[in-house]
Amino acid sequence: MSFFRKVTSKPWEHAGELEGIHGDFQPVSTASRTGLVMFLAVVSSMFLLFIVSYYTRMQSADWEVLKDPRILWFNTLVLVLASVAMQMASNLSKRDKPGRASLYLVGGTVLTLVFIAGQVAAWEQLLVAGYYAASNPANAFFYLFTGLHALHLVGGIWFLVRLGIKLRQHDYVQAKQNVALCATYWHYLLLVWLVLFALLLRT
């Protein structure tokens, strides 16, 4: 039932109806998925506004293009693999194979930690080379983008740990759903990283 049909219905009519447009209520997804989608909307709004600020700030004469560290390519590959691992875990848990799904989850977590370590290494390379946040806005945006993105991954890992606990307690019904949500979150953060990385490379 489309949203338009819903909000054009006349609620004062058909008192007593519990089916059809006047009474039916069928959520299209679970509460957790709705919560996640809303959260991703919030995060998108934040990154979008950062990107707008980035483009606006770039117009200024003092902007000096930052040469992005090569390690970012390696990090990107690692994050793609982490995302693939999460998807595999989700697929396996849907097919009721919690044991193998757990392996992929551990793999995804390790790869994500490697990615974060790689980002820290990129920071270190830049700092050693003298690219401080205060010396140019391009540097400052680089630290800001990578830092906030990594922070979101850390939050995701916290949820993964909680998921691991559920799996150990053999709470498979809840865990199955949460694995799928984690996979969505990881894909989303991969997408955000690809957008940010493309932006940083181009400018």
Q: Tell me which residues touch another protein (CB under 8 A).
A: 6-12, 15-19, 21-27, 30-31, 34-35, 38-39, 41-43, 45-46, 49-50, 53, 56-57, 60-63, 133-134, 137, 140, 144, 148
What would the DSSP string read from start to end of 31-52?
Answer: HHHHHHHHHHHHHHHHHHHHHH
* Smallest separation (angstroms) from another protein to the CB of 83: 23
* Smallest separation (angstroms) from another protein to the CB of 33: 9
* Smallest separation (angstroms) from another protein to the CB of 117: 23
Within 10 Å of residue 182's Cβ, how many Cβ atoms? 22
* Cβ proximity of 159 and 172 under 8 Å: no
Rank residues 128 and 134 by Cβ distance to another protein and give the closer one.
134
Coil/strand/helix, residue 97: coil
Rank residues 60 and 96 by Cβ distance to another protein and give the closer one.
60
Rank residues 77 and 124 by Cβ distance to another protein and give the closer one.
124
Which residue in the block uniquely carries the two structure tokens 């054009």?
8
* Smallest separation (angstroms) from another protein to the CB of 99: 25
Rank residues 16 and 99 by Cβ distance to another protein and give the closer one.
16
Q: How far apart are CA 140 and CA 17, in angstroms?
A: 59
Give whole-number Cα distances, 121 to 64, 146, 199, in Å.
22, 12, 20
